[in-house]
């Protein structure tokens, strides 16, 4: 009998009671008429007189501790239940807030900046034919960008590729709309490059296209100036350097005054005071004609920029791979009103 008492004592001590159902189970098992303790008291009558004293003492202690535990837990449960029932103003479980991906934030900012001057968004497919990625954009047959080094080919002859730039959407838009055209094209692009801190085989671009009568290089410059100041602040200066793209003539690359030092020179701008952010130019007449737009009546400009590059400058993140790893510790740091 003493062994039983000891066993039940440790069971009572270890018993976990978290709600009123468990409390009732405890009562039924130990304290009810047919419960363990009551049964032990029945058996107590039959044990030999010399063992009665010690057994009786222990049995009473068992009963006391079961009662004590029962009353104690009952008190705790009823006060917490009452508390919940009474205080309806308690806050709900907090819902963890997500954050937008930095590339989405930058895309949204750029789209918003251009929408203020009348540009609307258009999109095109990521899997493209040769015409929209290269030929319709005046790429000569032997141009190195068509090389296996840069382009992911899905099929050969006729070529189906993953687009290497969002300029392909220019061609699609010119084929379907007639001027005036004022559009921007955000999208994902693909290049067969080794992945490093500065390059990735997948990245994002935003392309812009404006075609109308009498569009000049001055319009391009003014548009980009507006954009740079919306994006990087009112004091931002821009600088255009001559460049080359098959689909624009003349072509240029645009730098903005360094977003960190403001132009005085620091290690981000490598002490040049400027950061390169996009390529641009006047749409080559061959490109207009390839999409059946009369190049004598219409002129236009185009520009294209990499979103990860702008995000790197804006957020001071110097490893491109972080934008693709989806490490929650990185992503959590970007909050926004959007
Ligand atoms: N498509 C070019 C690139 O990927 C950028 C560009 C777009 C340049 C439009 C000029 C005009 O680098």
Nearest to 296 by CA among 220, 213, 219: 213
C-alpha–C-alpha distance, residues 157 and 274, integer Å: 43
Q: How many CA atoms lie within 13 A of 53 on its CB side?
A: 1
User: Strand 181-190 to strand 120-121: parallel, antiparallel, or no bridges (unpaired)?
Assistant: parallel
> What average pLDDT does range 107-113 have in this prediction?
96
More confident residue, 126 or 93: 126
Least confident range from 96-100, 108-112, 118-122, 180-184: namely 96-100
Q: How far is the CA of 308 from the centre of ligand 1 (A)?
A: 15
Placement of tokens 């006729």 in the chain = 158
pTM for this model (two decimals): 0.72
Q: Is the CB of 105 under 6 A from ligand 1?
A: no
Which atom of ligand 1 lies at the shortest distance from residue 280's CA?
10
* Backbone torsion region of residue 309, taken as left when φ is above 0, otherwise alpha when ψ lies between -120 and 50, otherwise beta: alpha
Which pLDDT band, with edges at 50, 70 and 90, does 237 fall under?
A: very high
pLDDT at site 102: 93
- Does ligand 1 have an atom closer than 6 angstroms to the CB of 302? yes
> Does residue 281 line the site of ligand 1, with CB under 6 A?
yes
pLDDT tens track for 265-274: 888 788 999 9
Ligand 1 pocket test target in 167, 282, 300, 309 with most atoms within 8 Å of CB: 167
How do 248-257 and 160-162 pair as beta strands? unpaired
- Its sign, for the CA torsion 243, 114, 222, 301, is positive
Q: Tell me, using a 6 A CB cutoff, whether residue 170 lines ligand 1.
A: no
The whole-angstrom separation of Cα 207 and Cα 150 is 19
> Is 70 exceeded by the pLDDT of residue 209?
yes
| Higher pLDDT among residues 84 and 291, named by residue | 291
pLDDT at 143: 84
Mean pLDDT of 69-85: 77
Q: What is the pLDDT of residue 20?
A: 84
* Per-residue confidence (pLDDT) for residue 336, from 0 to 100: 59
Question: Is the model more confident about 145 or about 207?
Answer: 207
- 240's enclosing H/E stretch is strand 238-245
Alpha carbon of 245 to ligand 1 centroid (Å):
7
**Of all protein residues, whose CA lies closest to atom 6 belonging to ligand 1?**
304
Instruction: Please state at what angle helix 36-44 crosses helix 49-86, rounded to 10 degrees.
Output: 160
Tell whether the model's pLDDT for residue 338 goes beyond 80: no
- Looking at ligand 1, which atom is closest to the CA of residue 165? 4
* pLDDT tens, position by position, 112-137: 999 999 999 999 999 999 999 999 99
- Give the strand order in the sheet containing 153-155: 127-129, 160-162, 153-155
Q: Which of 143, 221, 247, 284 to mutate to test the pocket of ligand 1 (most atoms within 8 A of CB)?
A: 247
> Per-residue confidence at 175, pLDDT binned at 50, 70, 90?
very high
Strand bridging mode 299-306 / 181-190: unpaired
User: For the residues 38-53, what does the mean pLDDT come to?
Assistant: 89
pLDDT at position 83: 57
**pLDDT the model gives residue 85:** 62
In angstroms, how far is CA 202 from the centroid of its own chain?
16
pLDDT top residue among 334 and 287: 287
For atom 7 of ligand 1, which residue has the closest CA? 304
Q: What percent of the chain has pLDDT over 90?
A: 66
Helices 49-86 and 2-14: angle between axes, nearest 10 degrees? 10
Beta bridge partners of 300: 211
Rounded distance from Cα 46 to ligand 1 centre (Å): 99
Residue with tokens 């009498």: 214
Instruction: Give 86's pLDDT tier (boundaries 50, 70, 90).
Output: low
Tell me what pLDDT residue 131 has: 96
Predicted local distance difference test score (pLDDT) of residue 191: 94
Q: What is the mean pLDDT of residues 289-299?
A: 97
> If you measure from the C-alpha of residue 279 to the centroid of ligand 1, how many angstroms do you get, rounded to a whole number?
5
Say yes or no: CB of residue 163 within 6 Å of ligand 1: no
Report how far ligand 1's centroid is from the alpha carbon of 205 (Å).
Answer: 9
């Amino acid at each position: 009998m003493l062994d039983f008492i000891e066993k039940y004592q440790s069971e009572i001590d270890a018993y976990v009671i978290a709600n009123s159902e468990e409390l009732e189970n405890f009562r039924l098992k130990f304290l009810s008429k047919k419960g363990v303790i009551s049964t032990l008291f029945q058996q107590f009558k039959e044990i030999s007189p010399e063992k009665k004293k010690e057994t009786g003492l222990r049995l009473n202690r068992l009963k006391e501790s079961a009662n004590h535990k029962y009353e104690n837990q009952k008190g705790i449960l009823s006060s917490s239940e009452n508390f919940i029932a009474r205080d309806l103003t308690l806050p709900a479980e907090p819902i963890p807030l997500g954050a937008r991906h930095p590339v989405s934030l930058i895309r949204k900012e750029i789209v918003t900046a251009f929408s203020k001057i009348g540009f609307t968004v258009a999109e095109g497919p990521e899997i493209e034919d040769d015409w929209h990625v290269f030929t319709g954009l005046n790429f000569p047959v032997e141009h190195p960008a068509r090389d296996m080094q840069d382009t992911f080919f899905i099929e050969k002859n006729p070529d189906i590729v993953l687009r290497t730039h969002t300029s392909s959407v220019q061609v699609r838009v010119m084929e379907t709309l007639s001027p005036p055209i004022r559009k921007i094209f955000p999208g994902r692009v693909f290049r067969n490059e080794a992945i490093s801190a500065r390059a990735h085989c997948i990245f994002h671009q935003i392309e812009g296209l404006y075609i109308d009568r009498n569009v000049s290089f001055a319009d391009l410059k003014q548009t980009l100036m507006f954009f740079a100041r919306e994006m990087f602040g009112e004091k931002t200066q821009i600088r255009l350097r001559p460049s080359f793209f098959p689909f624009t003539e003349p072509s240029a690359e645009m730098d903005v005054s360094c977003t960190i030092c403001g132009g005085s020179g620091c290690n981000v701008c490598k002490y040049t005071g400027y950061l390169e952010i996009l390529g641009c130019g006047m749409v080559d007449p061959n490109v207009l004609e390839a999409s059946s737009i009369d190049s004598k009546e219409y002129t236009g400009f185009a520009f294209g920029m990499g979103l990860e590059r702008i995000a790197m400058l804006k957020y001071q993140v110097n490893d491109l791979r972080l934008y693709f790893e989806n490490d929650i510790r990185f992503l959590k740091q970007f909050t926004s009103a959007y």
